[in-house]
Structure 1
């Protein structure tokens, strides 16, 4: 599971309303009838309209200036393997979201009226989306790009040929286009994968908008704070501050595993991804120490992620040679969120 936390988008200053962001989250409802639409939900309610979300988020921004975000966006991205495990059941995704948001509250190093922050102090609204589209960040698009650029030029030349502006053979140009398409590494149903193409397989994910202010509109709760667990003096009083992101990410995985009896492979874990970014050799050694069946699954998942070439049966000797290959690809794949375990 890949999780991201980001503040309200910054232009010249932070906007006073969540309207634009909520409108973006309504994109899958476009053109659908009322009974086909999906709604927002929170810890207690199931069918919350976009207008209600905007109203409640916008009303909870006391004493937040233009240079302070009014809300944060949390995105929960279960992997395709995780989604298949729960059969992409929306009710299970809602249950998971609610459990994760309980942990979100617990990961604040803050107190409200002398007690730890709880989910009842958090104002949040979540929505499940079921489709994703390739972007310029995806490995498949990046590797296809040289071919796509050459094809675009060849098609431009075809137009010139048709207009008589270029004295070339149309059949030759078309043959070159077919050659580029055949040589391109990533295709979907015979067509090249490009920006805007819908991704195949289960793609459900959850968008969550969380108010920066607590439910009383008195306290600021920022998951973006650079202070994990620290204290500071405010008006002569010692005040706790910070949000532990590492703990939050780990707890989210544990919630999924516990709720749905999921056997997480090492390479699927947040700890492994972090190790891969910082010390690929340690990551590899840990993986090679896994039991044989777990190791085979680990390599299969890495192949699906594009970290190593696809090999039918990987021996330890082959694995050693592949280490150098996946080291080069690892950082790019993770930074682009292209890992789809």
Structure 2
């Protein structure tokens, strides 16, 4: 389970309003009949039009400065192993989202009218997507890039030869292109993986847009707060503030497990990935103490995730090879960063 919370971009790709972002989330509906489309939903309503989402989010911005985000984007990406537990991706993920947002509000160290924040205090809209495309930053695309560059150069050379701008053997250049296509390390369906190619398999995930302001448009609720829990005096009153990210990520996993009866392996948990960064030796020691069956599953998960593993599992700390160990740590560091707020 990977969860990211990102502040609305001010300038650059997105404007002060939410229309561009909401429009981006509508991309999978293009060309589909209404009965095949995925609509926005919130805690109590289904099939909410995109226009209503934009209208509600953009109208809920009282007293926000121009430099403050109007909304936050939460992306929830279950693993393939987690998705395999679901019976109906769309309906099950919708059910999970509504429970997840209860965990979200419970992570705020805030009070509204003298009581803790509850799910009715936030204004959010969510959407299920079922496709993902390879990005330029993906490992497969990056490692295929040297081959892609040579192939592009050869194709350009072929065009020059056809235009009689450059001498060359077109047949030979086509053979070289064919060899490069076969030599590229990462393929899908027999084709070299390139940026923009749709990923195979179950890629279902959740996008959530949540207003910075509460539903009454009176209070600010920022998951990007640098405080986990603190108090400050404003106008003579003591006000609680903060958002506990660790609590949210842990509860998000627990809610998924409880909702779908999922047996989470040690290495799948946010807490264990975080421990790897803070106390890698302790992490590895805990991994080695797992029951044999659970440890076997753990090693398989780590291998499939692309994290480099040692050829032989060490039996004590002294056997840890520092170079390989650091490679492992960097791999998990990427996973942990994927589960953190990006502001």
What TM-score do the two structures reach when normalised by structure 1? 0.91
What does residue 45 of structure 1 align with?
45
Aligned length: 334
Q: How far did 1:162 drift?
A: 2.3
Indicate if the aligned counterparts of 1:284 and 1:323 stay in contact, CA closer than 8 A: no
What does residue 113 of structure 1 align with?
113
Tell me the secondary structure at the aligned position of residue 307 of structure 1.
coil
* 2:308 counterpart of 1:308: yes
Tell me the secondary structure at the aligned position of residue 180 of structure 2.
helix
* 2:124 counterpart of 1:124: yes
What does residue 223 of structure 2 align with?
223
Moved more, 282-291 or 39-48: 282-291
Moved more, 203-212 or 263-272: 263-272
Would the alpha carbon gap of residues 282 and 239 (structure 1) be closer, same or farther in structure 2, given more than 3 Å must change? same
Indicate if the aligned counterparts of 2:3 and 2:338 stay in contact, CA closer than 8 A: no
Measure, in 2, the Cα distance between the counterparts of 1:14 and 1:327. 34
Q: How far did 1:14 drift?
A: 8.2
Would the alpha carbon gap of residues 280 and 141 (structure 1) be closer, same or farther in structure 2, given more than 3 Å must change? farther
Measure, in 2, the Cα distance between the counterparts of 1:182 and 1:50. 43
Tell me the secondary structure at the aligned position of residue 36 of structure 2.
coil
Q: How does 1:1-341 map to 2 (within 5 A)?
A: 1-11=1-11, 15-308=15-308, 315-316=312-313, 323=325, 325-327=327-329, 329-332=331-334
Measure, in 1, the Cα distance between the counterparts of 2:120 and 2:334. 39
Measure, in 2, the Cα distance between the counterparts of 1:14 and 1:27. 16
Tell me the secondary structure at the aligned position of residue 300 of structure 1.
helix
Q: How far did 1:158 drift?
A: 1.8
Provide Cα deviations, 1:313-338, integer angstroms capped at 9, x if missing partner. x653599666465345444566578x
What TM-score do the two structures reach when normalised by structure 2? 0.91
Measure, in 2, the Cα distance between the counterparts of 1:190 and 1:306. 20
Provide Cα deviations, 1:220-261, integer angstroms capped at 9, x if missing partner. 000001011001110011110010011000000000001111
Indicate if the aligned counterparts of 1:14 and 1:67 stay in contact, CA closer than 8 A: no
Tell me the secondary structure at the aligned position of residue 221 of structure 1.
coil
Query: Which structure 2 residue ranges, 5 or more long, are not aligned?
Result: none
Q: How far did 1:163 drift?
A: 2.4
Q: How far did 1:281 drift?
A: 3.7
Q: How far did 1:280 drift?
A: 3.8
Measure, in 1, the Cα distance between the counterparts of 2:33 and 2:98. 27
Measure, in 2, the Cα distance between the counterparts of 1:118 and 1:171. 68
Measure, in 1, the Cα distance between the counterparts of 2:230 and 2:241. 6
Provide Cα deviations, 1:175-230, integer angstroms capped at 9, x if missing partner. 22222222211101111111100011110111111111111111000000101100
Measure, in 1, the Cα distance between the counterparts of 2:87 and 2:154. 43
